[in-house]
Amino acid sequence: MRKFWKFDKQHIVTALFLLLLFVNMAGLLVPLAARRLGLTAAAGAEDGSGQAQEDAAEDGSAQEPEDAAEDGSAQAQEDAAEDGSAQEADGAEVEPDGTVHTHVEPVNLEEAYPFPEEEEGEEPGFYERLTALNGQLLSYVSAVETYCNENVPGRTAAIEAYIGVQKLLGSRIIDGDDVVIKMDNGLLTFTRDELSEEDLRICTENLADFCRFAQEEGADFLYVQTPSKVNKYDNQLPEGYQDFMNPNADRLMAGLEEAGVPTLDLRDEIVEDLDFDSAFYASDHHWKPSTGLWAAGEILARLNADYGAGFDLEWVDPARYHTEVIEDIFLGALGKKTGLGYVPLDDMELVLPDYETEFSMEITATGDVYSGDFAQAFLDESQLERGDYYTKNPYAAYFRDDQALVEVENALVDNGKRVLLLKDSFGLSTAPYMATAAEHLSVIDLRHFRGSLQEYVKETQPDMVVVMYNPQAIAAPEGYHADLFDFR
């Protein structure tokens, strides 16, 4: 009997985990069951019915009660006109914030910018075709796996129960599909393994070859190494833990310098100009828009210094911007893996120009065109609405999330400059500020771009090509055209 009641530490931890999981699952399942049975409290208190749609059907109105009381009309088109979301005669939709949203013919990038045809008699071999097919399948499997993982019932409850136990144990390392570490400064970060010599060689050679190609096409070239969340000079990692993002970037930069590729290392500049820890979100691996503005200024200044580009840096002067803050709205990619409470929710900052702006932003693959001032063209307001922290991504409000190809026209700048920016997700909060100083900015994310990059450069003839990647993105291509270091 005495042995039965003798618990060790592991028994206690297991019991706590199961208890927290049960409590969280109950919180998830009870509202779900209530919805299934039509027992919503608000509707039941009003008229004994859990179905708001039936209420609308009973009185013939599809409007909310307040709208019905005001004018008794069920016409959605009139409602849209009242709140500024009307459909104009020319097909342009004016959104509530004033953004003019139009549609043009979507572009099939694979057809518009095709890869060179194989020479006669040089069809790809079985291994090459199999490798390409495998790469495509891997991308589809990864997308399906991500969707399933993020939408499995009880996922959030299970994560938060597990993290609750980890917090009780004082753990700072959360090991899952990605290792997440809580650093000494309280911020969360991903880590990366050491890059092999072969992978490093491929990345360096691919980038150097593309640099030479761009220069042969008449474009100036610059590779920009952005910082990761781990400070190169003060890593803030738990004692005994090692991360290779900065060592990998150091090796890449050394190889590019040896190959004669023009570079800008923002890892050095940021520690001189900014407070490093404040430059990033606590729960996310990305930098803040204010840091993106700073980076845009550094890039444009280097293009001026190295190539005499003549960009007016007043467009990216922080003194000409103001910041609006939406408090406690953002749970970043790292926070989604650790659950709420491991770090505080982040505020979302919107850094907006105080001067007049006018842009047109076309997402070519979908045909969506957004026109207006800086905020209207570049910000997706739907991502800034409060809701489920695990499904919303306020960071992606900037530049309307990662897209294969975006074409931006600046109506108020007449300098004839056409800039091509190749980016990872860090570029979302940098590209809009670069667009303030250039007449035309093209932005490509090679993870989504299925056409030939080199064919695009040949056809569009940019004046300048900027490749801007963070250390986490440094990885050799996997054998298919959906990699940041595949510059074909």
Shared domain for 269 and 399, answered yes or no, is yes
Is residue 129, in this structure, part of any structural domain at all?
no
pLDDT of res. 103: 95
**381 and 452 both lie in a single domain:** yes
d(CA 262, CA 277): 28
Same domain, 303 and 444: yes
Give the burial string for 276-288 (b: 16+ CB within 10 Å, else e).
beebbbbbbbbbb
- Are residues 158 and 251 both part of a single domain? no
> Contact 330/394 with Cβ under 8 angstroms?
yes
Segment 11-66, tens digit of pLDDT: 555 565 556 555 555 554 444 444 433 433 333 333 434 343 444 333 433 343 34
The number of distinct structural domains making up the chain is 2
Statement to judge: residues 158 and 211 lie in one domain: no
Supply the pLDDT for residue 29: 46
> Is there a single domain that holds both residue 158 and residue 245?
no
Residues 158 and 237 in one domain: no
Q: Are residues 220 and 158 in the same domain?
A: no
Q: For the chain, what's the residue count?
A: 488
Q: What is the residue range of 462's domain?
A: 193-473
Tell me: do 158 and 284 sit in the same domain. no
Q: Examine residue 144 and state whether it is found in any structural domain, yes or no.
A: no
125 within domain boundaries: no
pLDDT value of residue 254: 98
**Residues 158, 263: one domain?**
no
Extract the residue ranges of the chain whose pLDDT is less than 70. 1-91, 118-177, 341, 479-482
Same domain, 251 and 158: no
The secondary structure of the chain, three-state, reads: CCCCCCCCHHHHHHHHHHHHHHHHHHHHHHHHHHHHHCCCHHHHHHHCCCCHHHHHHHHCCCCCHHHHHHHCCCCHHHHHHHCCCCECCCCCEECCCCCEEEECCCCCHHHHCCCCCCCCCCCCCHHHHHHHHHHHHHHHHHHHHHHHHHHCCCHHHHHHHHHHHHHHHCCCEEECCCEEEECCCCCEEECCCCCCHHHHHHHHHHHHHHHHHHHHCCCEEEEEECCCCCECCECCCCCCCCCCHHHHHHHHHHHHHHHCCCEEEHHHHHHHHCCCHHHECCCCCCECHHHHHHHHHHHHHHHHHHHCCCCCHHHHCHHHEEEEEEEEEECCHHHHHHCCCCCCCEEEEEEEECCCCCEEEEECCCCEEEEECHHHHHECHHHHCCCCCCCCCHHHHECCCCCCEEEEEECCCCCCCEEEEEECHHHHHCHHHHHCCCCEEEEECCCCCCCCHHHHHHHHCCCEEEEEECHHHCCCCCCCCCCCCCCC
What does the pLDDT read at residue 33?
Answer: 43
Tell whether 279 is covered by a domain.
Answer: yes
The model's pTM: 0.75
Residues 306 and 158 in one domain: no
Note whether residue 167 is domain-resident: no
Q: In this structure, is residue 180 part of a structural domain?
A: no
Q: How many CA atoms lie within 13 A of 32 on its CB side?
A: 8
Domain presence at residue 437: yes
Position 149 in a domain: no
Radius of gyration of the chain (CA): 26
List, edge to edge, every strand of the sheet that includes 173-175: 173-175, 179-182, 188-190
Q: Strand 418-423 vs strand 464-469: parallel, antiparallel, or unpaired?
A: parallel
